[in-house]
Amino acid sequence: MNPFVKLGLDFGPLVVFFTTYKFFGIFPATAALMVATTVSIVVTYTLTKKVPIAPLVTGALVLIFGGLTLWLNSEFFIKLKLTIIEVLLGSGLLIGLAMGKPLAKDVMGAALELPDASWRTLTWRLAFFFFFIGALNEVVRNTLTTDDWVTFKVWGVTALFFLFSAVNAPFILKNEIKHAEAKASGEDANTAT
């Protein structure tokens, strides 16, 4: 998929949520997020004929907690959704590790080629990052205003994700290069015999 299309599908619902919130408030923004997330999943499926598990889980939770927010007229549920998603993602990664399967490889394996040990390390890092975001969301939603929470959810979490990616980029690049070199020298040794 074109990286710009993927970026739009990944972050488009957040932009719709933020924009709608600024003009109309939390409840219309929640409804708009539900629609935008559904459209994003449908477009992703139309373009790729598959949808990764993380967007499906996120989409289901957006619909469940968004529905509860609108039905019960309480912003509590839409604010709690971020914590639950992050804890589920982190827990899923740790369960995968316990089963000997670094799930980060399933999510990013098409874009990266790393040795298994590096995938395990990256999976640990991702899991704890998700738990950190979940805990931070609990602090923000319980201590700040809804305006502040929306800003944190849209811009703060996005900035933290890019910061996490930047901090881990040297680790990924170093191990990707080492893996490529080891693979090349292994192939050379095989062709020499």
The string of pLDDT tens digits covering residues 22-69 is 999 999 999 999 999 999 999 989 988 888 777 888 899 999 999 999
Burial 8-33, CB ≥16 within 10 A → b, else e = ebeebbbebbbebbeeeebbebbbbb
What is the pLDDT confidence band of residue 132, given thresholds at 50, 70 and 90?
very high
What's the pTM value of the predicted model, to 2 decimals?
0.82
| Letter string b/e over residues 130-160, b meaning 16 or more CB atoms within 10 A of that residue's CB | bbebbebbbebbeeeeeeebbebbbebbeee
Res. 193: pLDDT tops 60:
no
Exposure of 177 in the CB half-sphere (CA atoms within 13 A):
5
pLDDT tens profile 148-166: 999 999 999 999 999 999 9
Tell me the mean pLDDT in the region 73-91.
94
pLDDT digits 0-9 by tens, 89-118: 999 999 999 998 888 877 765 667 888 888
Averaged pLDDT of the chain: 87
Looking at the chain, the number of H-run helices and the number of E-run strands are 8, 0
**Higher local confidence (pLDDT), 40 or 192:** 40
pLDDT of 78: 93
